[in-house]
C-alpha cells in the first residue's frame, strides 16, 4: 500500500502523459510541420491508456528489447511483469521515410492530432512471435491474431506526449482516469476495491460473483471495456444501459462504482488477464475477479488457463490480488446461485444456457429464465436486437 492507503501503481508511480496549457499549445503548433502517423483503433486505445496512466509505468510505445522481453518472459527488461507488447506498427514504406530522433505527429483515423512521439527506434514487427506467444496461435480466425496480421511490418518506438487522449469520447461522465478513480475510492473510504472486467451484459452468474467478491472488499468497481471489440459483440452503449439498470436496482450505491475502460479487446485469454489486472491496479483496485475463460474466444484457451497464469509470478510481483471464481449457475436444489464447490446438485438441477441459446431467445423477443438474467436486462437486449 502507498502512504495514503491506496495500492501503489504498477511500477510505483502513476504516469501522466497529457500535456496541458502552454505545452499543449506548443505541441499543436509543432505538429503542423511534422510527419503524421495514423494510428489504428488498437493503438489509439493503447495511447489513451498510456496517456492517463492506466498503463503505468509505460511512457511510450515499446522498442525491440521490450517487445522481445514481454513476448518471451512476460516481463519488461527490468523484470517488472507485463504480458502484452504495446507497439506502434506502420508500413515499411512509412517507416523508410522516418529517421531515428525525428519527432512525428500521432493522429486518429480522421487525421485529428492525438500527440507527438520522439522516434527512438524502428524495428521489424515479428508477427509470428507475437501471435505465438501472446495469443498462443497463428490462426487468422482468432480476432486478436487477425488484427495483428493486418498491422504494419515495422514498429516505431519512443516516448509520447499526448495532446488529446481521444476525440469525441463515449461515456465522458464515466470515463474516469486512474487519478480520479483513486480519488473517488479515497473519498468513499475504500481501502480494498475489487474490479470486474466485462465486455458483455452482466447476467445472474456475474452478479453472483461480483457480490461474493464485494463481501470481502470495501468497494466494487464495475469496469466494462468500451474500446475496440470484435464484430458480434454487444455494442457498448447497449451494455452501458444494462449496467446502469442493474446497478440501480440490485447493487448498493454506497459500495459500487461504474466507470469504463477505454481499452482494445485482444481476446488473448491468459495473457490478457494479466494485463487487465495490471490496468486495474493502476486504477487503484486491490483485487481483480478472474472467472471462467477470462478474455477468451472460441476454444483457443482452457477454461481456467487465465487463472493459472497468475501462478507463473511470485507472490507480490503483481500487486493486485486475483480472485478466482468457478463457473456459476442457478441451482434448483439450493434455490440459489452456486458452483461445483458449493452444491451437490446434478446437471438437470442447474439452469445454464449457452450464449447461442440466449441470443436465439432474445432475437425471438423471448426473455431467458429469470434464474439466468434479470428481466429488465433481457428487455434492454431484446429492444436493441429489434432495431
Active-site entry in 64, 75, 200, 324: 200
Percent of the chain past pLDDT 90, that is, above it, reads: 94
pLDDT band (50, 70, 90) for residue 9: very high
Q: What is the pLDDT of residue 1?
A: 41
Tens of pLDDT along 278-324? 999 999 999 999 999 999 999 999 999 999 999 999 999 999 999 99
Q: What is the pLDDT of residue 127?
A: 98
Confidence check: pLDDT of 387 > 70: no
How many distinct structural domains can be found in the chain?
Answer: 2
Both 179 and 140 in one domain: the answer is: no
Both 249 and 370 in one domain: the answer is: yes
Tens of pLDDT along 179-234? 999 999 999 999 999 999 999 999 999 999 999 999 999 999 999 999 999 888 89
Average pLDDT estimate for 109-124:
98
Both 209 and 301 in one domain: the answer is: yes
The alpha-carbon radius of gyration of the chain (Å, integer) is 21
Residue 3 forms part of a structural domain: no
Average pLDDT estimate for 326-330:
95
- Whether 282 is a known active-site residue: answer no
Q: Are strands 121-124 and 154-162 parallel, antiparallel or unpaired?
A: antiparallel
Percent of the chain past pLDDT 70, that is, above it, reads: 99
Closest among 264, 277, 224, 227 to 246, alpha carbons compared: 224
Q: What is the pLDDT of residue 3?
A: 39
Domain end among 162, 182, 207: 162
Both 196 and 139 in one domain: the answer is: no
Confidence check: pLDDT of 386 > 90: no
Tens of pLDDT along 148-180? 999 999 999 999 999 999 999 999 999 999 999
Question: Coil, strand, or helix at residue 251?
Answer: coil
Both 199 and 321 in one domain: the answer is: yes
| Structural domain for 275, as ranges | 173-385
CATH number of residue 361's parent domain: 3.40.50.620
Average pLDDT estimate for 15-19:
98
Confidence check: pLDDT of 4 > 70: no
Residue 235 forms part of a structural domain: yes
Half-sphere exposure of 234 (CA within 13 A, CB side): 26
Both 191 and 234 in one domain: the answer is: yes
Average pLDDT estimate for 47-61:
98
Tens of pLDDT along 354-368? 777 888 899 899 999
Q: What is the pLDDT of residue 356?
A: 77
Active-site entry in 42, 199, 280, 374: 199
pLDDT band (50, 70, 90) for residue 352: confident
- Whether 75 is a known active-site residue: answer no
Gap between the Cα atoms of 131 and 19, Å rounded? 34
Gap between the Cα atoms of 326 and 346, Å rounded? 16
56 Cβ contact partners less than 8 Å away, ≥ 6 residues apart = 9, 10, 11, 13, 14, 15, 178, 282
Confidence check: pLDDT of 115 > 50: yes
**What average pLDDT does the structure give for the chain?**
96
Both 128 and 181 in one domain: the answer is: no
DSSP secondary structure code for residue 164 in this structure: -
CB 338 within 8 A of CB 329: yes
| 235 exposure class (CB count in 10 Å sphere: 0-12, 13-18, 19+) | exposed
Confidence check: pLDDT of 2 > 50: no
CATH number of residue 156's parent domain: 3.10.400.10
Amino acid at each position: 500500500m502507498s502512504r495514503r492507503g491506496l495500492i501503489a501503481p504498477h511500477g510505483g508511480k502513476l504516469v501522466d502523459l497529457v500535456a496541458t496549457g502552454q505545452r499543449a499549445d506548443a505541441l499543436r503548433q509543432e505538429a503542423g510541420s511534422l510527419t503524421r502517423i495514423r494510428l489504428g483503433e488498437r493503438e489509439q486505445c493503447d495511447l489513451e491508456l498510456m496517456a492517463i496512466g492506466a498503463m503505468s509505468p509505460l511512457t511510450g510505445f515499446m522498442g525491440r528489447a521490450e517487445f522481445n522481453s514481454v513476448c518471451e518472459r512476460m516481463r519488461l527488461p527490468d523484470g517488472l511483469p507485463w504480458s502484452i507488447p504495446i507497439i506502434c506498427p506502420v508500413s515499411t514504406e512509412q517507416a523508410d521515410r522516418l529517421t531515428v530522433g525525428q519527432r512525428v505527429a500521432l493522429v486518429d483515423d480522421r487525421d485529428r492530432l492525438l500527440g507527438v512521439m520522439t522516434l527512438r527506434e524502428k524495428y521489424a514487427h515479428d508477427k509470428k512471435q507475437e501471435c505465438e506467444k501472446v495469443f498462443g496461435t497463428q490462426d487468422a480466425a482468432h480476432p486478436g491474431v487477425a488484427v495483428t496480421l493486418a498491422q504494419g511490418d515495422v514498429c516505431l518506438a519512443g516516448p509520447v506526449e499526448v495532446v488529446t487522449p481521444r476525440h469525441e469520447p463515449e461515456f465522458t461522465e464515466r470515463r474516469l482516469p486512474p487519478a480520479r478513480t483513486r480519488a473517488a475510492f479515497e473519498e468513499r473510504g475504500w481501502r480494498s476495491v475489487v474490479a470486474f472486467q466485462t465486455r458483455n451484459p452482466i447476467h445472474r452468474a456475474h452478479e453472483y460473483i461480483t457480490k461474493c467478491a464485494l463481501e470481502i472488499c470495501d468497494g466494487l468497481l464495475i469496469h466494462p471495456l468500451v474500446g475496440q471489440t470484435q464484430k458480434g459483440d454487444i455494442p457498448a452503449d447497449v451494455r452501458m444501459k444494462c449496467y446502469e439498470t442493474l446497478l440501480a436496482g440490485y447493487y448498493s450505491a454506497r459500495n459500487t462504482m461504474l466507470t469504463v475502460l477505454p481499452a482494445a479487446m485482444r481476446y488473448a485469454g491468459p495473457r490478457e488477464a494479466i494485463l487487465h489486472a495490471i490496468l486495474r491496479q493502476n486504477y487503484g483496485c486491490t483485487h481483480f475477479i478472474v472467472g471462467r475463460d477470462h478474455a477468451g474466444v472460441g476454444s483457443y484457451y482452457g477454461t481456467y488457463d487465465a487463472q493459472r497464469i497468475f501462478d507463473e509470478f511470485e507472490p507480490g510481483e503483481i500487486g493486485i490480488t486475483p480472485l478466482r471464481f468457478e463457473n456459476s449457475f442457478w441451482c434448483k436444489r439450493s434455490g440459489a446461485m452456486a458452483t461445483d464447490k458449493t452444491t451437490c446438485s446434478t446437471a438437470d438441477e442447474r439452469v445454464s444456457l449457452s450464449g447461442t441459446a440466449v441470443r436465439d431467445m432474445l432475437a425471438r423477443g423471448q426473455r431467458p429464465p429469470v434464474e439466468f438474467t434479470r428481466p429488465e436486462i433481457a428487455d434492454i437486449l431484446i429492444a436493441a436486437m429489434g432495431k
